[in-house]
Amino acid sequence: MKGLVYKSTGSWYLVKADDGKLYEARLKGIFKIDGITSTNPIAVGDQVEMELSAEGEADAMITEIFPRHNYIARSSPHHIKHHHIVAANLDQAVLFASLKNPKTSLGFIDRFLATAEAFHIPAIIIFNKADIYHEKEKQQYKRIEKMYPSLGYPVFLVSVSMQTGMKEVEKIFDHKTTLISGNSGVGKSSFINLIAPSMNLKTMEVSQWSGKGMHTTTFAEMHDIPGLQAARIIDTPGLREFGMADMDKQEISHYFPEMRDRLNDCRFNNCLHIDEPGCAIKAAVENEEIFMERYISYLKIMDTIKESEY
Ligand code: GDP
Ligand code: ZN
């Protein structure tokens, strides 16, 4: 039977089979995926083949994993040796953010976007807590609305508490598998509880698997969104930042679309766009063709990368 992994703990998996039922599954033997030795060979979003075990109906053995369309990992896509795969087969990644209580920094947003670029996953930003924005935050949002959509990242403004802006946002999940991330306190859990209240894995017929850590929230988990067709969200609790840990300095500008488009125009082909002469990126920042905020985020990311890595 084929199935889709809804939760992966590294030792056992929650798999929704084609019959619509949930099974607790384990891996049969050890196998490598795509020639990569991963610390977690199977991730949320993986499509698998499984055999039901003889003794219990809710138990199954995963015998095969189907090729991934894509995945997102904690480390760079170019450092495939130490993968920890967060989720597989994603259509898009949503960053939940807020401009107040707590403020999500542009640096944090741009790191998320660059990570999504690195793994070729379309990204969307949802700003929450619109109900508490004052003039300052409203002005900031105007700037954000000007910046991100022009770079290919749609933005939305909602208030989960007041349930404003939610109708528009719900549409983006239709027929998609979406990874949701965000710094803590921005209202991500409130949002997920609102749009996917019934797909509460804790309330499903899993009580018989007592003592198996069903209630831990440290693992990514997939939820169906009721009322929409094939809409799934993957919640990533505890996952604040990922993907950029071991990227090379040379690769970062490739993950800023507005820089990527201009790389060929720099005088030196190993230009890092910091203080090199004839740098097309810096010229574009000066001409306001590249947003200054984005360039600052780029420099901050570059600062966090060790010299030895390029
Ligand atoms: P998470 O850490 O991102 O999962 O955030 P939570 O969902 O736990 O929410 C953090 C706090 O923000 C809670 O006290 C929520 O009630 C509050 N919150 C969530 N959405 C909104 C909103 O739209 N407006 C306001 N003012 N508070 C909100
Ligand atoms: Zn340059």
Q: Specify the pLDDT at position 254.
A: 96
Annotate the chain with DSSP letters as a single string.
-EEEEEEE-SS-EEEEETTS-EEEEEE-S---BTTB--SSSS-BT-EEEEEE-SS-TTEEEEEEEPPPS-EEESS-TT-GGG--EEEES-SEEEEEEEBSSSBPPHHHHHHHHHHHHHTT--EEEEEE-GGG--HHHHHHHHHHHHHTGGGT--EEE-BTTTTBSHHHHHHTTTT-EEEEEE-TTSSHHHHHHHHSSS--GGGSTTTTSTTS-TT--SS-EEEE-TTSSS-EEEE-TT--S-S-TT--HHHHGGGSHHHHTTGGGSSSTT--SSS-TT-HHHHHHHTTSS-HHHHHHHHHHHHHS-GGG-
**Domain holding 224: CATH number?**
3.40.50.300
Residue 197 and residue 290 in one domain: no
Q: Which of 101, 160, 169, 191 to probe ligand 1 with, by most ligand atoms within 8 A of CB?
A: 160
Same domain, 221 and 269: no
pLDDT at 39: 60
Q: Is 241 among the domain residues?
A: no
Q: Report pLDDT for 75.
A: 67
* 245, part of any domain: no
Q: Which of 50, 29, 57, 10 minimizes the C-alpha distance to 209?
A: 57
Domain co-membership, 52 together with 148: no
Q: Report the candidate in 56, 52, 71 with the shortest Cα–Cα distance to residue 8.
A: 71
Domain count, the chain: 3
Q: Are residues 42 and 121 located together in one domain of the fold?
A: no
Residues at CB less than 6 angstroms from ligand 1: 128-129, 131-132, 159-161, 182, 184-190
Domain boundary among 173, 206, 235: 235
> Would residue 247 count as lying in a domain?
no
pLDDT at 231: 95
Which of residues 11, 43, 67 is at a domain's end? Answer: 67
Torsion sign across C-alpha atoms 98, 102, 106, 109: negative
Ligand nearest to the CA of 240: 1
In a domain, 242, yes or no: no
Asked if residue 279 belongs to a domain, the reply is yes
- Same-domain status, 110 and 195: yes
Do 267 and 221 lie in one domain? The reply is no
- Does the residue 158 lie in any domain? yes
Give the ligand with the smallest distance to the CA of 186: 1
Does a structural domain hold residue 220?
A: yes
The pTM of the whole model exceeds 0.85: yes
Domain that holds residue 284: 252-309
The verdict on 102 and 208 lying in the same domain is yes
Whether residue 77 sits in one domain with residue 63 = no
Residue type, 245: A
Last residue of a domain, one of 10, 45, 67: 67
Residues 287 and 165 in one domain: no
Q: Are residues 216 and 272 in the same domain?
A: no
Task: Tell me whether residue 240 is in a domain.
Answer: no
Interior CA angle at 129 toward 126 and 134, to 5°? 115
Ligand 1 atom 10, closest CA: 185
- Confidence (pLDDT) at 8: 87
Residues 88 and 36 in one domain: no
Cα–Cα dist 217/237, whole Å: 6
pLDDT at residue 205, as a whole number: 36
Q: Are residues 256 and 282 in the same domain?
A: yes
Determine the pLDDT at residue 144. Answer: 98
Average pLDDT, consecutive stretches of 10 residues, N- to C-terminus, the chain (310 residues): 90 89 82 57 92 73 92 71 81 97 95 93 98 98 98 98 96 96 90 76 38 51 89 79 71 96 96 97 98 97 73
